[in-house]
């Protein structure tokens, strides 16, 4: 039997959970979300400086729950800040730890999950892991090619949650993730649609830099000429243009809200333009699902929907209407990051998967 501590830092809070596992199953013993005040965070000049603050908060929460760190056998934390890498469970050490500590490729508190797990583990001589970091990039060579060689396509998506729900769908089908083909759509604050082929995400939209369907705050794929006109039309500067791509596009631009639920309520209440935008959201997601099905040459075991907006009967129904001919649907509303982190570490502990060593940039 093993106990696993899971650490998942967010912008203003840190989620923690303790799982108790046997060889065949596990259960969640404890879960908490520790809030970090704005004044406390303001005292930290940079993200790595938040490490002691978050570490102390975790220790306090575990102590209040009567959980000793000495009882933990495996530590696992949310990762990030890395160079592109394949999916899997990684040992937190060496270059991975260095890149996480320095926020090598991105500045976000999630990178501190790997740092904190390593600190707790090394103090007790236990292993520390991170699982399917946001830097996962498994694109096939042909998927990287765009119409401009100076601008190759890149992989940025909800790797941790997508791979977890696809593993669940595979188990429901009596298969393994590595033997299955799925089209998965995470529909939430960001929207990613991916082709999962035998355990690898061979194609996916870049959710950060303007690709795929629009999202609550992101413009998604738009006309290149239209963007040039906006850039040189005199109305917007560079900062405003970047904001339209990742912060003020999508629902915010059309409806003045980043809440899909509010948009749905407005549509249900008779707002015809809100209804049109919501219909367009489902339409664009469906087009991307169809595109990923073609990547898999029609060999799709299931379509897997997840994320907060997959709770919407309207959105799920629209996607089923467009894509139901492709394959059966599995719907996993919400996100399963804590469970995904625990499961990745436990696959290594159970001998089902070998932990990977991070080596930096791929060839």
Architecture of domain 159-333 in CATH? Answer: 2-Layer Sandwich (3.30)
Which pLDDT value is given to residue 25? 87
% of the chain at pLDDT higher than 70: 99
Which pLDDT value is given to residue 186? 98
Residue 159 predicted with pLDDT over 90: yes
Report the topology of domain 2-138+337-349. Nucleotidyltransferase; domain 5 (3.30.420)
How much is the average pLDDT of 256-283?
98
Q: pLDDT by residue (tens digit) across 171-202?
A: 999 999 999 999 999 999 999 999 999 999 99
Residue 332 predicted with pLDDT over 60: yes
Which pLDDT value is given to residue 363? 55
Q: Report yes or no on whether pTM surpasses 0.85.
A: yes
The three state secondary structure string of the chain is CEEEEEEEECCCEEEEEEEEECCCCEEEEEEEEEECCHHHHHCCCCHHHHHHHHHHHHHHHHHHCCCCHHHCCEEEECCCCCCCECCCEEECCHHHHHHHHCCCCCCCHHHHHHHHHHHHHHCCCCCEEEECCCCECCCCHHHHCCCCCCCCCCCCCCHHHHHHHHHHHHHHCCCCHHHCEEEEEEECCCEEEEEEECCEEEEECCCCCCCCCCCCCCCCCCCHHHHHHHHHCCCCCHHHHHHHHHCCCHHHHHHCCCCHHHHHHHHHCCCHHHHHHHHHHHHHHHHHHHHHHHHCCCCCCEEEEEEHHHHCHHHHHHHHHHHCCCCCEEEEEECCHHHHHHHHHHHHHCCCCCCECCCCCCC
Q: pLDDT by residue (tens digit) across 279-295?
A: 999 999 999 999 999 99
Q: Which pLDDT band, with edges at 50, 70 and 90, does 233 fall under?
A: very high
Which pLDDT value is given to residue 272? 98
Q: Can you give the residue ranges of every domain in the chain?
A: 2-138+337-349, 159-333
Which pLDDT value is given to residue 151? 96
% of the chain at pLDDT higher than 90: 97
Q: pLDDT by residue (tens digit) across 107-134?
A: 999 999 999 999 999 999 999 999 999 9
Q: pLDDT by residue (tens digit) across 309-329?
A: 999 999 999 999 999 999 999
- The answer to whether 2-138+337-349 and 159-333 have equal CATH topology is yes
Output the average pLDDT for the chain. 96
Q: pLDDT by residue (tens digit) across 19-78?
A: 999 988 899 999 999 999 999 999 999 999 999 999 999 999 999 999 999 999 999 999
Which pLDDT value is given to residue 182? 99
Q: Which pLDDT band, with edges at 50, 70 and 90, does 86 fall under?
A: very high
Which pLDDT value is given to residue 286? 98
How much is the average pLDDT of 211-232?
96
How much is the average pLDDT of 263-290?
98
């Amino acid at each position: 039997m093993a106990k696993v501590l899971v650490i998942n830092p967010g912008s203003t809070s840190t989620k923690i959970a303790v799982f108790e596992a046997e060889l065949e199953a596990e259960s969640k013993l404890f879960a908490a979300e520790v809030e970090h005040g704005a004044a406390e965070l303001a005292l930290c000049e940079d993200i790595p400086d938040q490490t002691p603050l978050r570490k102390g908060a975790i220790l306090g929460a575990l102590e209040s729950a009567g959980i000793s760190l000495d009882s933990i056998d495996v530590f696992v934390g949310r990762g990030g800040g890395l160079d592109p890498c394949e999916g899997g469970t990684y040992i937190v050490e060496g270059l991975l730890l260095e890149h996480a500590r320095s926020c090598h490729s991105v500045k976000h508190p999630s990178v501190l999950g790997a740092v904190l797990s390593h600190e707790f583990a090394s103090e007790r001589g236990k292993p520390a892991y991170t699982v399917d970091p946001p830097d996962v990039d498994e694109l096939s060579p042909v998927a990287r090619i765009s119409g401009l060689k100076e601008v190759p396509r890149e992989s940025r998506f909800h790797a941790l949650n997508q791979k977890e729900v696809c593993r669940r769908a595979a188990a429901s089908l009596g298969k393994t993730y590595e033997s299955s083909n799925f089209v998965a759509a995470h529909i939430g604050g960001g929207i990613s649609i991916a082709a999962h082929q035998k355990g690898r995400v061979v194609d996916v939209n870049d959710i950060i830099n303007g690709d795929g369907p629009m999202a609550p705050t992101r413009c998604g794929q738009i006309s290149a000429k239209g963007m040039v006109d906006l850039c040189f039309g005199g109305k917007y500067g560079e900062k405003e243009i970047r904001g339209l791509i990742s912060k003020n596009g999508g629902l915010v631009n059309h409806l003045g809200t980043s809440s899909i639920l509010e948009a749905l309520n407005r549509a249900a209440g008779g707002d015809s333009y809100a209804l049109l935008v919501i219909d367009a959201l489902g339409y664009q997601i469906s087009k991307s699902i169809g595109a990923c099905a073609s990547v898999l040459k029609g060999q799709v075991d299931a379509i897997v929907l997840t994320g907060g907006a997959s709770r919407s009967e309207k959105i799920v129904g629209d996607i089923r209407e467009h894509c139901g001919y492709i394959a059966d649907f599995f719907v996993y509303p919400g996100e399963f990051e804590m469970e995904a982190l625990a499961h990745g570490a436990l696959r290594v502990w159970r001998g089902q998967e070998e932990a990977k060593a991070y080596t930096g940039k791929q060839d």
